[in-house]
Chain A
Amino acid sequence: MGAVSLGMVTPSLAMGEELVVPYKVKEESITTEILVVGGGTAGTIAAIQAGRAGAETILIESGSQLGGTTTTGGVAFPGIFHAWGKQIIGGIGWELVMDCVELNGDKLPNFSRIPDSHWKHQITLNAPLYTLLAEEKCLEAGVDIRYYESPTLIEFKKGKWMVESVGKGTKTTIACNQIIDCTGNALIASMAGYDVLREEDTQPGSLVFRLGGYDYNILDLTKVPKEYHNVLRQNMLENSKRASREHTYVPYSYVYVPGADSTTSATHTTANNEGRNTLLNLVRTLKTFPGCENLKLVDLKTETAVRETYRIDGLYKMNKDDYTSGKVFDDAISHSFYPIDLHREGKSIYQEFLKPDVVASIPLRSLIPKRSQNFLVAGRCVSSDRLANSALRVQASCMGMGQAAAVAAVLASKQGISPAEVDINEVKDLLKKHGAIVPTQA
């Protein structure tokens, strides 16, 4: 009887197999000094900096690797670290970029020469290598990385943040002194109850891919509708390498994803669905053109990269004039250099270039939400108007912000105060000590 009834409730086990007790979500409570949420362009640097400054640091990343838009989104050409013949952003971001360039045997663009197009000073990276190095540097700095997790609850209690973070089969309550929101979307700031702003119409996202299997130079373009010329040409750039010259191109084809929003799993799923669907249709259409019969999708980035979602309403909101005039704030903690660069409805780009010798700066106040406690942001959700944001969002600037936010958070944590109360000179000194370039008044 026993044997028979046992057989009825227990699945038959093959040799070597064993039955596992039903999984119960693992719940635990842990503490840390600094919690960085989002291990993207800014968050990776913030976490490394916090760890190196000697603070216990946890980094929560909802994806499976570090780098965010730089790696997972496929925008593997950070800019801009140099302006007008000088380095303007250095520190940990630059160190990571250089380690990647050198390990991959790449060459740097000629920064001594002022380029005819700003993007020529961006640095092409081997994105997979970048993720490896970023992770190594985090671990060396003692950062506790938690992949596949996302905060679900956040509360400020008795001078500490209590953050509930849920991942695959885990639910963790993290008590921390300071939070740095590097999600790109100011999601944690919003969950904490701080105001966030968004444009009615946001710039489109892009799904980045690469095509192969055709030769642009022998295509008969008269047989290809005009609207497809760009995508076919853009994709061929890699072929035009010449050893004697500097080369900063990477193949970079993309389809626009209108309204793409990465703030929640639901909105990011929609953005991915739409981008992939557009791309699939594009591939099918391109293959019908003469000369493109063997066209292939050679590479596709993991997710739709998102340009614009929410920004915090910070203690200072940077505006376009601050940016283009190169205003150096008393509490400037990083430079930023890029043209104003707004993708309008996916149809055109509004660009405004900085005048010679002008370099913008970012005040610490723009990283601190109004009425906040023990809270900072870094990255594209910096407090700024839309046009200033279109330039501030670039990767070197995000890295500069990440490093600065971490330094402010660490000092605030050690002193038991909010980042806005930290003596700005201490922030600047510690930043310099860690190799960052701090803007100075002329």
Chain B
Amino acid sequence: MIKVRFFCVVIIGLIGLLLTSFLQEKQSIKYMQVATIESSAADEPSIIVTFKDSVTNETIFLCKTKDNIPLHYFKKVTGEVCDDEECRLLNIVVYWNITGRYLGFELPKGEFLSKYDHDPFSENEYQQLHKLLADESLPLDKVSFEKLLEQPNNKKEDIDALSGATSKNIADMVVKGAAFTTYRLWNTVNGTTMDFVSELTEKQLTQTLLNRILQSQDITDKLWALHRMDAVIGLTPQLEAALLEMISSDDFYLSYSAIKAINSIHLKSAELQNRLFSIYQKTNHSIKTALLKKLMEAPFLSSEIIQTSRDLLPQLNGQQLDDLLQLYTKHNINDVETYTVVAKILENENKYISKNAYAFLIGLQINDDDIIELLNAYKKEKL
């Protein structure tokens, strides 16, 4: 009895195995990276829109959800690739994320890529191609294919500091036996279409879409969205929360780019200013400087910042003090409480610090006898 049951399980297993390998064979070859917007049930692609690429004149397809959220672009690449006078047909679909970042490629059912000896690509070679296409830093756009082949092997002399086009050996940049296929696909993926699709998305940007892109797992997508924050007017609470979270991150470049993404219109909000300043008090020195520079762009300085920052004045180093006093000057902060605290700093034995206080107070042209006396004394003794 046990034997029969075991036999049945084995048979069913075998059938299952056959069935999946059959199905697998029928599936197209497809390699995809993490998408900017991973399609969830709500985002099932439903609409395909076409565009004409203004540079290449080819048709680009955009896949959108029924709610008009763009998901990805794709293009069919067909034609001959010839290496050493041997030619093969290329038939492949390449995908871009909505930010222009390479997403992946897919071969129509039954199609495969082959090398110059007609050997089909192995799994490893598809993986390698996928990785190479995703590496937009490869210098494959800088030289013609012929020039590329002429390049000497990687010479270490080229690598000192900066070299670019010469720093990689050609063998590392192409799939062996399929140099031209790699070159052509890399230039398709990383060529002008990349910018074209990115610009198409830019034209469709809404606050919701920007927020979706900011939620991408890929840092370059987040940065893409941050660099385009000006495309929308005003911040929704979600966008603001996303920005503040990024500013608080310990990834300098992300934080710096998120600060840059805030503009003077956003800074009309005193609440946003206050939130930024609460980050100032916790963050590192480089980001502190960037935050104060940003607040210089605000149309006014929130009263909460004026009060809170005043208490910080005596603890700051000279450069930070200078940054903050410049912010006050920019926003004409000349109230008694503030200048009284600054006047105390004239006593600081560090001349670099006291000089900053002096320069600020002189600039205010205050009519307060006590302060004038302090300034005169400072001028006499320390300048």
Contacts and interface: CB of A to CB of B under 8 A. Distances in A.
Interface of A: 51-54, 75, 77, 79, 82, 85-87, 90-92, 94-95, 98, 102, 108, 110-113, 115-117, 119-120, 122, 140-142, 206, 217, 221, 226, 229-230, 233-234, 236-237, 240, 242-245, 248-250, 252, 341, 343, 346-349, 351, 433-435, 437
Contact of A91 (B141, B194, B285, B353): B285
B220 interface: yes
Given A94-B286, A234-B166, A243-B195, A435 B319 contact: yes
Given A243-B195, A434-B317, 15 more contacts: A53-B352, A87-B286, A94-B286, A95-B319, A108-B253, A112-B223, A113-B219, A116-B137, A141-B352, A237-B142, A237-B163, A240-B142, A242-B141, A343-B160, A435-B285
**CB-based closest 6 A-B pairs:** A435-B285, A54-B350, A111-B253, A349-B156, A87-B252, A112-B253
Given A245-B136, A433-B317, A434-B317, A98 B251 contact: no
9 contacts: A87-B284, A98-B286, A98-B289, A111-B251, A119-B161, A221-B147, A230-B152, A347-B157, A348-B156
Contact of B317 (A120, A244, A435): A435
Interface string B128-168: 00000001110101111001001110011111111111110
B141 to A, nearest CB: 7
Contact of A111 (B152, B159, B252): B252
A127 to B, nearest CB: 14
Contacts of B139: 240
A164 B52 CA distance: 74
A217 B346 CA distance: 63
Given A85-B251, A217-B143, A248-B162, A95 B289 contact: yes
B70 interface: no
A435 B290 CA distance: 13
B251 A230 contact: no
A351 B156 contact: yes
A433 B320 CA distance: 10
A228 to B, nearest CB: 12
Interface residues of B, number: 53
B256 interface: yes
B144 A230 contact: no
A229 to B, nearest CB: 7
Given A87-B252, A87-B286, A94-B286, A240 B164 contact: yes
Contacts of B317: 52, 433-435
A75 B252 contact: no
B160 A53 contact: no
B318 interface: yes
A115 B166 contact: no
B133 to A, nearest CB: 14
A221 B149 CA distance: 12
A54 B351 contact: yes
B75 interface: no
Contact of A112 (B147, B195, B219): B219
Interface string B308-320: 0000000001111
A54 B356 CA distance: 12
A434 B319 CA distance: 8
B165 A240 contact: yes
A230 B100 contact: no
B72 interface: no
Contacts of B355: 142
B110 to A, nearest CB: 35
Interface string B161-195: 11111110000000000000000000000000011
Contacts of A248: 162
Which of A79, A85, A244, A434 has the most CB atoms of chain B within a 10 A radius of its CB? A244
Nearest to B289: A95
A143 to B, nearest CB: 10
Contacts of A242: 141, 195
B295 interface: no
Interface string B232-256: 0000000000000000001111101
A234 B286 contact: no
Which of B163, B164, B194, B198 has the most CB atoms of chain A within a 10 A radius of its CB? B164
B373 interface: no
B349 interface: yes
Contact of A233 (B166, B219, B293, B352): B166
Contacts of B152: 226, 229-230
B162 A252 contact: yes
Contacts of B352: 51-54, 140-142
Given A112-B219, A115-B137, A249 B162 contact: yes
A233 B160 CA distance: 14
A328 to B, nearest CB: 18
A142 B350 CA distance: 11
A93 to B, nearest CB: 11
Contact of B351 (A117, A142, A237): A142
B319 A249 contact: no
A117 B156 CA distance: 13
Contacts of B155: 230
A86 B289 contact: no
Interface in B209-239: 219-220, 223
Contact of A90 (B167, B251, B285): B285
Interface in B238-293: 250-254, 256, 284-286, 289, 293
A234 B150 CA distance: 15
